[in-house]
Each structure stands twice: as C-alpha cells, then as structure tokens.
Structure 1
C-alpha cells in the first residue's frame, strides 16, 4: 500500500508540475505576442513613410534654381564692384598702413565706393 501511496503522490506532484509548466507557457506566449506587436509597430512606421519622387524632384529643382539665382546675384555684384573707380594710391596707402594684402584693400575700397575713410573705418573695427 505504501507503494500505491507513493505512486499517487508522484502523480499529484507530476500534475502540479505540469500545471506550473502550462502556466509558464501561457506567460511566455503572452510575452512573445507583446514582443511581436512591438516589433510590428517599429517596422510598420517605415512602410507608412514612402518618399514621393515628384516631391523630391521639385525640391531638387527649387534648390538648383536658388543656387543659380545666388550665382547670378554674385556675378552681378562683382560687375558692380569692378565698375567702381578707385584711386590706386588709396589702395597702396591702405595696404601699407594696415599691413594687409593689396587685393583685400582694393576689394574693401570698391565695396565702399572708393571712399578711403569709410574703407579704413570698416577695416579697423
């Protein structure tokens, strides 16, 4: 009889262990489902956000036209500066007294429309 009691106790322990394993399996499957949903949320966002090629092309065209407009404005500014009459003696004096390159002195003088005093004040500030 003791053997029969041991068998029933072993069967009860096995049933209890099986119930615990079933409970753990349910918890594990819930965790796996939650992880799967979290992963789907991360990957779904990439699919929702597709690039529109026409928008990209229009943006690139706008950038190109803006760059071309800036280039044309710079060329026009250089033409205006080249048309300014300056005294070569003023360039020489500014370059020597402020110990700078003659090109910088000439450019600054042209930007100030040949006014040597304004150019020097600009360079000294």
Structure 2
C-alpha cells in the first residue's frame, strides 16, 4: 500500500515536470520564431539616414575645429609675452603658454586673467 501511495504522489510531480518542460520548450521555440522578425523590423533606410547624419555632424565638427585652429594660428603673439606667461604660470611647456595667449587674442593681461580664473591651469 505504501508503494501505491508513493506512485500516486510521484505521478503528479512527473506530469508537472513534463508539462513545465513542454511549456519551456514552447516558450523557447516562440522566442526563436520572434527573433528574426524583430531584426527585420529595423528600417535600413532609417539606420542609413542616422549614420549619414552622424557622419555629417562629425565632419562639421572637424571642419569647425580646423577653422578655429587657423584663426588661432593667425593671432600675433610676442615672444616676450610667452616668456612672461610661462614664468608667471610656472609652466615649462611654452606651447601651452603660447596657446593660452592665442586664445586670449594675444593679450597677456587677458591670458593671465584666464589662468587665474581657471584655478591655475593654462587653457588648452
């Protein structure tokens, strides 16, 4: 009788496991079937348009940076001003001092002010 009780208790558990296994398999199958459809829903023209927009923005940014560098290169800077700024800022990199002066339009006073306002860091 004890064996009959155990068989009856094990039977529903086995059915439950089988049913759960079938449900899991069905869920996996439905996920596999939905996967490619989701990928196909991506509109290739929208992706291409987004990439073109991104490329155009990057190009415009680079062009603006080049134009800004040309403007800065055209600013006249006195060698003596570079020496003073480098000495006052205790900067060993004369290029940083020169760039700070160019950003300040060649004005030593403005470059020193910018240095002090930046907390002792030369503008890059």
Shared fold, TM over 0.5: yes
1:116–1:27 CA distance, 2 compared to 1 (3 A):
same
CA deviation after TM superposition for structure 1 residue 57, in Å: 1.9
CA deviation after TM superposition for structure 1 residue 112, in Å: 0.8
CA RMSD of aligned residues (A): 2.7
2:23 aligned with 1:31: no
2:112 aligned with 1:120: yes
Deviations 1:68-122 (A, max 9, x none): 1011000110111112222221111111232211111111111111121111122
Match for residue 4 of structure 1?
Answer: none
Name whichever structure is richer in helix by fraction: 1
Match for residue 108 of structure 1?
Answer: 100
Output aligned runs, 1:1-125, within 5 Å: 22-40=11-29, 42-44=31-33, 46-50=35-39, 51-100=42-91, 101-124=93-116, 125=119
Whole-Å separation in 1 of the counterparts to 2:10 and 2:97? 88
Rg larger for: 1
Deviations 1:34-68 (A, max 9, x none): 32244345445533421433222222212211111
- Normalised to the residue count of structure 2, the TM-score between the two structures is 0.71
- Normalised to the residue count of structure 1, the TM-score between the two structures is 0.71
